Each structure stands twice: as structure tokens, then as C-alpha cells.
């Protein structure tokens, strides 16, 4: 049986510098945009509704957006799910809500995602931590 998530006040920050926020799960990328002839790629109604909902749920950002960060998405275990389809919308939300300066590689130094049976089915937890150039962000790549 899955453990309950910490209380909202406990989801804000821990002593290791991580900030936590729980929001409605982002739709898969294929459900966020559609192509319109002679217009191009546009946001779907489902994605626009998610942006509106998640924008009210995400915790308040720091006074200054993070200029370098490590982001971890913890998503509910979904059979046949695809983790990388959840990055784009979440990163755009972090930028538009003032959490990060940008979602490019200069700002987002590491991004990862984890499936968890402890996260409620229609929710996700975003963990974000400020890093500096001196921080060691490990990778299994030996090169």
C-alpha cells in the first residue's frame, strides 16, 4: 500500500535545498499541441486547462527565479506510460510561474523523472533545487 504524501507545509522545502510542489499531472506531450493548417502548432484545450489548473496549484516561487537548477519529476506509476512526454509542459510551467529563468541547458543543469506508486494517480510532484557550476551532478556516463 502506498504511503501518503507529506502534508502541504512539509512539501515546501527540506534541509538539503530541495523545493517540492504537488500539482495535477501534466498531459503527455502528444495531447498538449495540435497542428492547424496554415497556422502551425497550437496548444490544445486540454493543455490550456492544465496550465490554468497547475498555475494555481504550484507553490510560490522564490523571490528571484533560479538561474541554474536540478529538476526531478515524480509521477504516478502508469502502465505503458512514457516519462519523457511529461518534461516539456512541466518545464514551461516552471518558467511561466517564475521558478526558473529559462528551460534551456544553461538553466536546467539536470532533469530526471521517476515513477512512483506513492504519488496519487492524477498528481505529480516537482522537486527543484538550485545548483551552481561547482556542484557535481552525477551521470552514469564514464566519459
State the virtual CA torsion across 82, 6, 20, 47 in degrees, nearest 10: 50
pLDDT in tens, 42-66: 999 999 999 999 999 999 999 999 9
Instruction: For residue 86, give every residue at least 6 positions away whose Cβ sits within 8 Å of its Cβ, in sequence order, or none.
Output: 25, 26, 28, 29, 73, 75, 113, 124
Pairing of strands 69-76, 123-130: antiparallel
pLDDT in tens, 68-106: 999 999 999 987 788 889 999 999 999 999 999 999 999
CB 58 within 8 A of CB 73: no
pLDDT band at 2 (very low <50, low <70, confident <90, very high): very low
Nearest CA among 113, 95, 93 for reference residue 104:
95
Amino acid at each position: 500500500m502506498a504511503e501518503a504524501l507529506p502534508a502541504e507545509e512539509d512539501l515546501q522545502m527540506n534541509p538539503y535545498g530541495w523545493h517540492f510542489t504537488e500539482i495535477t499531472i501534466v498531459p503527455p506531450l502528444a495531447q498538449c499541441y495540435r497542428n492547424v493548417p496554415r497556422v502551425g502548432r497550437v496548444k490544445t484545450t486540454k493543455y490550456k486547462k492544465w496550465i490554468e489548473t497547475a498555475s494555481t496549484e504550484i507553490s510560490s516561487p522564490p523571490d528571484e527565479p533560479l538561474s541554474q537548477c536540478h529538476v526531478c519529476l515524480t509521477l504516478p506509476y502508469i502502465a505503458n506510460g512514457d516519462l519523457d512526454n511529461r518534461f516539456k509542459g512541466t518545464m514551461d510551467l516552471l518558467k511561466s510561474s517564475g521558478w526558473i529563468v529559462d528551460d534551456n541547458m544553461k538553466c536546467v543543469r539536470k532533469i530526471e523523472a521517476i515513477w512512483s506508486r506513492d504519488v496519487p494517480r492524477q498528481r505529480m510532484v516537482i522537486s527543484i533545487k538550485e545548483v551552481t557550476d561547482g556542484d557535481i551532478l552525477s551521470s552514469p556516463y564514464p566519459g
